[in-house]
Amino acid sequence: MPLRRLDECPECLRELHVCRMCLFYDAHHPKNCIEEEAPEIREMERANFCDYFKPSPNAYTPESLEAEQNAQKKLAKLFAGVDSEATSTEQSIGPDYDKSNWTEVEDLFKK
């Protein structure tokens, strides 16, 4: 049975009719979709009206979700003490700037 546009996962309540759940989704393709006639969608994780949508049985992988959650935790920990009132780089990097803190930032972007 096809998914309706606003169907949600019963476990996490996320929308299911989304590009990232589609058989044609390809993150390395310019439109993120290998179906040539499909409309260009800007938000890959939001429900859409694409008529070419076919659910992919391999769309969900717990490992990728765990990696994403770990990255979000590291990012939140890294910016836990950042002053949200700072409006420019000069204000946020002042005389208290300590280069040793940047090693944590650089580690986030290493593969």
pLDDT, one tens digit for every residue, the chain (111 residues): 577 889 998 888 889 899 989 999 998 899 999 999 999 999 988 999 999 999 998 876 666 677 778 888 999 998 887 665 554 554 555 555 666 677 777 777 876
What is the spatial distance between Cα 20 and Cα 48, in angstroms, rounded to a whole number?
A: 11
Domain ranges of the chain: 1-60, 62-108
The stretches of the chain forming alpha helices (DSSP H) are: 62-78, 89-92, 102-108
Residue 33's DSSP bridge partners are 25
The model's pTM: 0.52
Look at residue 90 in the predicted model and tell me its pLDDT: 47
Cβ(54)–Cβ(23) below 8 Å: yes
pLDDT attached to residue 86: 53
End-to-end CA distance of the chain: 40
How far, in Å, CA of 105 to CA of 16, rounded?
A: 33
